[in-house]
Amino acid sequence: MVTPDTIKRWHRQLIAAKWGYSSRSTRRKGVMVEIRTLVDRIARETPRWAYLRVQGTIGDLGHRVRRSTVGRILRSEGPEPAPGRPSSWSAFIKATWGECAAAD
């Protein structure tokens, strides 16, 4: 037989185990270093692309990253945002020199 006090104690323990936040992490995991370097590389090689296009390219490669995360990465360690990046012909040639040589 079980007494009402035992049932109350079990219930308190169950609630404490379910709603105890001690086992949960309060800090979010950061973005992988691989993704950070990939975002930076894509942004430097294609200077006219905005955050959304960089995010789409990374998604095509199999990584799930939000546009705001791409923007935060580029603001912290990448080149300037797309409208301010150099868009001259010489900048394009310098960014795609290897691909141009391989195509010849």
pLDDT at residue 11 greater than cutoff 90: yes
For range 95-102, the mean pLDDT: 81
Within a domain: residue 74? yes
Number of domains in the chain: 1
Domain housing 39:
31-84
Within a domain: residue 21? no
Within a domain: residue 55? yes
Within a domain: residue 49? yes
Q: Is the whole model's pTM more than 0.85, yes or no?
A: no
Within a domain: residue 90? no
Tens of pLDDT, residue by residue over 18-33, are 776 665 566 667 778 8
Within a domain: residue 89? no
Is residue 55 within 8 Å of 72, Cβ to Cβ?
Answer: no
Residue 27, helix vs strand vs coil: coil
Tens of pLDDT, residue by residue over 38-74, are 888 888 888 778 888 889 999 998 888 888 888 888 8
Contacts of 77 (CB under 8 A, 6+ apart): 36, 40
